[in-house]
Chain A
Amino acid sequence: MSESASRQALLPGHYPTIVKSREHLGKPPNLLDYEAARAAFRWDWARGLLDGLPGGRGLNIAYEAVDRHAKGPRAERHALRWIGRSGAQRILTYRDLQAETNKFANALLSLGLGEGDAVFVLAGRIPELYIAVLGALKAKCVASPLFSAFGPEPLATRLKLGEGRLLVTTEALYRRKVASIRPQLPKLAHVVLVSEGQQGAQAAGDVPDTLEWHQLMAAQSPDFEIPPTAPEDRALLHFTSGTTGRPKGAIHVHEAVVTHHITGYYALDLHDDDIFWCTADPGWVTGTSYGIIAPLTNGVTNVVVEAEFDAATWYGVLQRERVSVWYTAPTAIRMMMKLGLEALRNFDLSSLRFLASVGEPLNPEAVIWGQQAFGQPFHDNWWQTETGGIMIANYASMDVKPGSMGRPLPGIEAAIVQRNADGSVVEIQEPLVEGELALKAGWPSMMRGYLHEEERYRKSFAGPWYLTGDLAMRDADGYYWFVGRADDVIKSSGHLIGPFEVESALMEHPAVAEAGVIGKPDPVAGEIVKAFVSLNPGFTPSEALRRELLGHARKRLGAVVAPKEIDFSPALPRTRSGKIMRRLLKARELGLPEGDLSTLESNAE
């Protein structure tokens, strides 16, 4: 299918609108009337849904997520319901979570850490990850969860850029990925290893230059008073990928919790008695904003599943835990579709009442499949690392146009803009005209900067607008439709991958002269990472060399970032200024017209 044909398929009218009727909704949605809620919305009202630190000492994410519930009627409610890979369960009530996060906050202070110090977490979805992030926020450290499937190189880049002072990880991950890069990280003063069981604790206690989690925590008091926290104090650091250069560290502040909370309430429709499951890993922003913070600030039970996607396991979790609100991703939904309705037959999923999806545009077929499989459509929504929370969404009460990302949250003003040559932008008012998606700056969870990159941060704005880098259009009813990325960033299984990071790792191999990396469309992952490499003199293309390069990239980058396909190419097309033309590589890969080649220095053919 050509690009224009696939674009056509996303246009309104190609799939019938899914009309919501009041009777069908069951529980009244928090956002009952979109237009009315939007007209009445004020951010200080949303701020008023939170408690603030006692005595007017400010606003702290962890207080809103944990402490305020632990001292009220929700104290004995399950805050985290963790399901381990082997099926083991661990439950933390809000009261338990308060004690554990207090202990970790005390541990950080005992190690001399405090305001502004970066605490990184590198682990699978284990309870200690959640405790560490929330405990760090209490101690006013900056919390940064890293994806455990990253290889040593992406980890080193991020730990260096973020000036990590303490890292919580597991013994296995430490040995495999961190020990080798530790000498490059002089600022990393402490590494805390989480081990399993008594024997594990002893073994981990033997790893040089590390602390053992259980030993560290055992010595701490379960009481902690969160220090005064200004809403603008730094809280979270999330890394995202750009087209060129190193990853960007987006800084978020404690005030972001206002957005986390209200979007959980409106876009995910969280009600007091909900059992919520967000399948994202906290190593990505969704897994932090909606896998940790929003469900807890809303006081619901947050289900955490350690295992990676497996349809039978997931359906089992939905049934057994009586999950009512489920936030997942297109890749997983498409894998479930492949499995078919048959696989669902023996499960009772009647507790599910709201389905949402994020990470990349959800194709209309998948939206509709939700109705066949679960009795209701998947509700796609849109946001990115920089926005900190959901910005555009399909709501429980609002008709769904399959393929559309929905309409902006109350309090969020979105627009389609055209960039002018002088850097200014002009709004496009006409419906269904493609342009860049922009958001009026100033919502609480907007990033406050890219770490150490003031210039890159400033370039993300034009006048009052934050420019998202996503191309989109708006229809006459105000629904937004994703068109594509404005840059070369790759979106694979909902994760942004910077081609430059992959190219750099490939170039480190002695055989590689140059590398160009693109996102190749894939029916399941959206895109997969594909690399084109040209070889240095003395090397010839072979299957053995292809495997060697693939192994090299996987070792350095980890499975999620490394290419899935590598092609040899005699020379890569470059612009006159020497930049590899990824767009042209992509056009060739897809058999599309190559467009204007006049800026090319050398054509590979």
Chain B
Amino acid sequence: MNETEARLLVLDVLSGIAPEADVTKLAGTEDLREALDLDSMDFLNFVTALHERTKLDIPEADYPKLATLDGAIAYLRR
């Protein structure tokens, strides 16, 4: 997956969870939970959706790596 594909995927998942937010304005290093007003269930749904869409195994210990847009993109591209 290249960077653009990863970004589109992450943004699409995020806008499914917080459709009211303009995710295109999201800064790469912002904390997603804060920037998009995600509660812990939203964040869990975010990780679950990434797993379902990519079939990538995401162990719970890696969740903190997905806390920002840049982090999530880098994680999907590993």
Residue in A343, A493, A555 whose beta carbon sits within 8 Å of that of B39 in the complex? A493
> Which residues in chain B, 13-53, are within 8 Å of chain A measured between CB atoms?
15-16, 18-21, 33, 37-42, 44-45
A37 contacts chain B at the CB level, 8 A cutoff = no
The verdict on A554 contacting B18 (CB below 8 Å), with A311-B60, A343-B61 known, is yes
A339 contacts chain B at the CB level, 8 A cutoff = yes
Write the nearest CB–CB distance from A198 to chain B, whole angstroms: 23
Pick from A89-97, A502-510, A544-552, A583-591 the stretch touching chain B.
A544-552
Task: Contact check, B19 vs A149: say whether CB atoms are below 8 A apart.
Answer: no
> Which residues in chain A, 527-564, are within 8 Å of chain B measured between CB atoms?
528, 547-548, 550-552, 554-555, 558-560, 564
Q: Which residue of A lies closest to B38 (CB)?
A: A559
Q: Which residue of A lies closest to B42 (CB)?
A: A559
CA–CA, A524 and B40, complex, Å:
10
Give the residues in chain A near B39, CB-CB below 8 Å.
149, 308, 493, 559-560
Task: Contact check, B40 vs A335: say whether CB atoms are below 8 A apart.
Answer: yes
Task: Contact check, B60 vs A308: say whether CB atoms are below 8 A apart.
Answer: no
Task: Contact check, A528 vs B41: say whether CB atoms are below 8 A apart.
Answer: yes
Task: Contact check, B19 vs A331: say whether CB atoms are below 8 A apart.
Answer: no
Residue in B16, B19, B21, B64 whose beta carbon sits within 8 Å of that of A310 in the complex? B64
A342 contacts chain B at the CB level, 8 A cutoff = yes
Task: Contact check, A340 vs B37: say whether CB atoms are below 8 A apart.
Answer: no
Task: Contact check, A342 vs B61: say whether CB atoms are below 8 A apart.
Answer: yes
CA–CA, A16 and B15, complex, Å:
46
A338 contacts chain B at the CB level, 8 A cutoff = yes
How many chain-B residues does the 8 Å CB contact rule pick out?
A: 19
Write the nearest CB–CB distance from A360 to chain B, whole angstroms: 14
Q: Which residue of B lies closest to A340 (CB)?
A: B60
Write the nearest CB–CB distance from B72 to chain A, whole angstroms: 15
> Which residues in chain A, 329-354, are within 8 Å of chain B measured between CB atoms?
331, 335, 338-340, 342-343
A181 contacts chain B at the CB level, 8 A cutoff = no
CA–CA, A340 and B62, complex, Å:
13
CA–CA, A215 and B10, complex, Å:
42
Give the residues in chain A near B20, CB-CB below 8 Å.
550-552, 554-555
A43 contacts chain B at the CB level, 8 A cutoff = no
Task: Contact check, A339 vs B40: say whether CB atoms are below 8 A apart.
Answer: no
The verdict on A331 contacting B37 (CB below 8 Å), with A547-B16, A554-B20 known, is no
Residue in B19, B37, B63, B64 whose beta carbon sits within 8 Å of that of A559 in the complex? B37
Determine which residue in A343, A550, A554 has the highest number of CB atoms from chain B within 10 A of its CB, and name it.
Answer: A554
CA–CA, A528 and B45, complex, Å:
12
Binary flags per residue of A511-524, CB closer than 8 Å to B gives 1, else 0: 00000000000101
CA–CA, A492 and B20, complex, Å:
22
Give the residues in chain B near A309, CB-CB below 8 Å.
40
CA–CA, A360 and B28, complex, Å:
36
Write the nearest CB–CB distance from B52 to chain A, whole angstroms: 15
The verdict on A558 contacting B37 (CB below 8 Å), with A547-B15, A547-B16, A547-B19 known, is yes
A312 contacts chain B at the CB level, 8 A cutoff = yes
Q: Which residue of B lies closest to A149 (CB)?
A: B39
Residue in A339, A493, A550 whose beta carbon sits within 8 Å of that of B41 in the complex? A493
Write the nearest CB–CB distance from B24 to chain A, whole angstroms: 15
CA–CA, A548 and B15, complex, Å:
10
CA–CA, A335 and B60, complex, Å:
9
A525 contacts chain B at the CB level, 8 A cutoff = yes
Give the residues in chain B near A312, CB-CB below 8 Å.
61, 64
CA–CA, A547 and B39, complex, Å:
17
CA–CA, A560 and B42, complex, Å:
9
CA–CA, A528 and B41, complex, Å:
9
The verdict on A338 contacting B19 (CB below 8 Å), with A493-B39, A524-B41 known, is no
Task: Contact check, B33 vs A554: say whether CB atoms are below 8 A apart.
Answer: no
Give the residues in chain A near B44, CB-CB below 8 Å.
335, 524
Task: Contact check, A308 vs B61: say whether CB atoms are below 8 A apart.
Answer: no
CA–CA, A339 and B62, complex, Å:
10
CA–CA, A310 and B40, complex, Å:
9
Give the residues in chain A near B60, CB-CB below 8 Å.
311, 335, 338-340, 343
Q: Which residue of A lies closest to B41 (CB)?
A: A525
Q: Which residue of A lies closest to B16 (CB)?
A: A547
Q: Which residue of B lies closest to A528 (CB)?
A: B41
Q: Which residue of B lies closest to A546 (CB)?
A: B19
List chain A positions with a Cβ less than 8 A from chain B.
Answer: 149, 308-312, 331, 335, 338-340, 342-343, 492-493, 522, 524-525, 528, 547-548, 550-552, 554-555, 558-560, 564
Given contacts A550-B19, A559-B38, 8 further A-B contacts (CB under 8 A): A308-B33, A308-B40, A311-B60, A331-B40, A339-B61, A522-B41, A551-B19, A560-B39
Nearest 3 A-B pairs (CB), nearest first? Answer: A551-B20, A551-B19, A547-B19
10 of the cross-chain contacts (CB-CB < 8 Å) are: A308-B39, A311-B60, A312-B61, A340-B60, A343-B61, A551-B19, A554-B19, A554-B20, A560-B39, A564-B45
